Chain A
Amino acid sequence: MQEIAGTGQYPTRHPSVPTQFAPGDRVRVRATAPLGHIRTPFYIRGHVGMIERYCGAYPNPEELAQMRDGLPAQPLYRVRFLQSDVWPDYAGRPEDTIDIEIFQHWLERLDEGMVA
């Protein structure tokens, strides 16, 4: 566990789980559907994206929703996906992207050499 000091735009003063990803890392969103309050949109689960930035660590909203403190805080990342990967019949430009902020426990590292 590490203590993350406030960073101005994203002040966080909670005990936090260590960050596992850095900008540029390729990750897959876990394709699971537990009960409860979930911040990871259904349509993005199972998709592969790239870490765009680290946004700070925040108490886990899934735990906050159940009246617990959500600590240690979970790192939150902005993850970038290709629109054409997410929507099979996407009609826009092939380089169009969508950014979604996703907590670390919903992400798994895409191993080198794995097919996206």
Chain B
Amino acid sequence: MAKSDSDSESERPDGLIARGHHDMGGLPAGRVEPSEHDYAEWERRVDALMVLLSGVKGGAPRLTVDELRKNIEAIGPEAYEKMGYYERWVTSITQTMIQRGIVTTDELGRKMEQVRARQDVACKK
């Protein structure tokens, strides 16, 4: 697809980029190669986490799709390109839970330490 003529506005005087990195509609790109693949167990879990937090299965919604999108779009361009679909999701879900105060940064850091220690023990067995 051709470039839109509004691309000339993509740089702003304040140095911020007008076009969000994710907002790539119309930019030159290669062919879309459709392919099927199985989901890893952690990807299924991230999907389930999203469904449960959104409240569609009942319970208070703790995340909107708009917050999910905002925090996916806030991922830096380089990381955005490297991350897989569900890696972006879990990054965004985590950010949203911190912003909402459902978990604190400190709680998250301590839990990550615990999980890492558990994995280290499991690996040594």
Q: Tell me the A residues contacting B by CB distance below 8 Å.
A: 31, 33, 35-38, 41-47, 61-62, 64-67, 70, 86-90
Contacts and interface: CB of A to CB of B under 8 A. Distances in A.
Contacts of A90: 2
A87 B16 CA distance: 25
A43 B12 contact: no
Interface of A is mostly: loop
Contacts of B2: 87-90
A39 to B, nearest CB: 9
B66 A37 contact: yes
B2 to A, nearest CB: 4
Interface stretch (B17-25, B41-49, B83-91, B107-115): B17-25
8 contacts: A33-B18, A45-B6, A61-B69, A65-B69, A67-B67, A86-B26, A87-B1, A88-B5
Given A37-B69, A43-B4, A87-B1, A64 B18 contact: no
Contacts of A88: 2, 5
Nearest to B100: A67
Contact of A33 (B1, B12, B69): B12
Contacts of B9: 31, 33, 46
Nearest to A38: B20
Given A33-B12, A41-B25, A87-B1, A46 B69 contact: no
A37 B75 CA distance: 12
Nearest to B1: A87
Contacts of B16: 35
A104 B4 CA distance: 22
A44 B64 CA distance: 25
Contacts of A44: 4
A70 B67 CA distance: 12
Contact of B23 (A36, A42, A65): A42
Given A64-B67, A67-B100, A43 B6 contact: yes
